Amino acid sequence: MSQICFDTFTTAAQRVASATEDAASPAAQHVFTRFYADGARATAQNCDAETQAGRSLGTLHGVCITIKDNIDVAGETTMAGGVVCDGETPALLDAPAVQRLRDAGAVVLGKTNMSEFAFSGVGINPHHGTPVNPADTLHTRVPGGSSSGAAVSVALGLAEVGICTDTGGSIRIPAALCGLVGYKGTQVRIPRTGVMELSRSLDTVGSITRSVRGCLAVDAVMSQQPLPTDAAHLKGLRFAVPQTLMLDDVDATVAQAFSYSLKLIHEAGAQVVEIPFKALGDIAALSMPGGFSPIESYAAHHARLERGADRIDPRVVARMMLGKGISAQDYLELHNRRQAWIAEAQQTLQGFDAMLCPTVPMVAPLIEPLIKDDEAFFKVNRLLLRNPAAINYMDGCSWSLPCQEAGQLPVGLMVSGLAGHDAHLARVVLALENLMNSLLR
C-alpha cells in the first residue's frame, strides 16, 4: 500500500518540527511519557534526503508515529504508564513491531501515556496525569483507555499513527471516544514479543489512525501479512446486530448515532439482522473466579506488587489482586470454557459478514468525577470495556469507526468478525467507512 493515506503535502522534517512545538502546548499535556525530539528530527531529515534523491525507505516513509508506553524501545526501561518499573533492566531491542515500523521508514516521535499496565478502559493515570480528550474544547473529558496518549496524539495531529495494544478494548475505546479509527486484529497477526504483558490470552497489538487505510498500511508492516484494500459492495452483505448485552445502558447520543448508522447501511442494500446471541450474556459467569486479565496480570506482575504495591495505581492493584490464589485447575477450566464459548459464537455468526454494535455505550464522560469517586470510576470502566472485551474473549478481529453526525461528540461503530476473518472484514470496513464519512461532512 502506498503512503497516500498519510500526509504527503509536507516534509517529514516539517511534520516533526510541528509535532515538537505542539507537544509542548497545554492541549498535549500528559500525552507523552517520553518525546524523542532529537531522534525524530534526525530520522525525518534522513527521510527527506532520501526523498530528494528519489528513493523511499518503505511504505511508511516519513510517517510520524507514537509508541504506547508498554512496548519496548531499545535502551529504555519499559514503564507501562507507571513508576514501579523504574530501575529495571532496559530493553535490549525494539519490540519486533517497532523495528518493522522503523524499517518501513516511520519516524518515532515518542512514547505515549496510558492507563497503568493497560488495566483500564478509562485512561486515567495518577502518575503522569490524564490526557484530555480533544473532541470537546469546553469540558475536560476522558480520552478512553488504556491507549489514552496514543489516541490523543493522533486526534491533536501530532502523529499520524498511534501504535498501541488492546486487551479488552484499549485501542477501540479511545478511538471511539476521540473520533478516530482503531483496529484490533486477530491476536496472532502481530508479534507480542517486547510488549509488557497484561493478559497473554487477550493482548493484541494494533493501531489508531484517522482512516481505515491508515490502519491497514500500518498493520501490513507490523504483521507482514497485507490485507485487501479494495472495498466490498455493501449490497447483499449480511450484518448481525446482537440484542444481548451490547445495547444495554446505551446513552441517547450513542443510541441515535447507532440507529442512524444501521439505517444508512440498510439503505445501501445490506441486510441488517437482529439476533439474540444470548451467549454474550454468559461471559461474566464463564470468567469466574477471576477472568484472564486479573489472573494473568497477577502472574506477570506479582513481584512488582510485592516490592512496591504502594507505587502502583490502587485501582490497578485491586483488579490484579483478584487473580491471586487462583488454582491451576480453575485457570485451565477457564480456558476450556472459553474455547467452548468461541465454538458457539462461530456457529451463531456463521453466514454473517460482520457483527455491528456501538463500540462503547456512552460518549466520553468528564474526568474529574471519575478521579474522585471509585464507585463511579469502576462503573464507567465496566461499561466502556463491556462491548469490545467480548470480541477479545472471542479472539475476533474488530474495528471502531466514527459514526456520529457533524457537531456531535464522537460515537464509535464497532465492526467485528471471527478469528482469522481479518481480510474479509477489511473490505467490509472500507465500504462502511465510506458510508459513515457521509455523516461527518
Residue spans of beta strands (DSSP E) within 96-160: 107-112
* Residue 309 grid cell: 504495591
* Residue 260 grid cell: 442512524
Strand partners, 401: 413
Residue 323 · residue 288 · CB < 8 Å: no
Strand order in the sheet with 238-242: 32-35, 107-112, 64-68, 161-166, 204-209, 181-184, 397-402, 412-417, 354-358, 238-242, 271-275
Q: Provide the annotated active-site residues.
A: 68, 146, 170
Residue 234 · residue 270 · CB < 8 Å: yes
3-state DSSP assignment of residue 117: helix
List CB contacts of 405: < 8 A, sequence separation 6 or more.
Answer: 257, 260, 439, 440
Residue 194 · residue 92 · CB < 8 Å: no
List CB contacts of 269: < 8 A, sequence separation 6 or more.
Answer: 233, 234, 235, 236
Provide Rg for the chain, Cα atoms: 20
How far, CA to CA in Å, does 46 sit from each of 43, 74, 98? 5, 20, 18
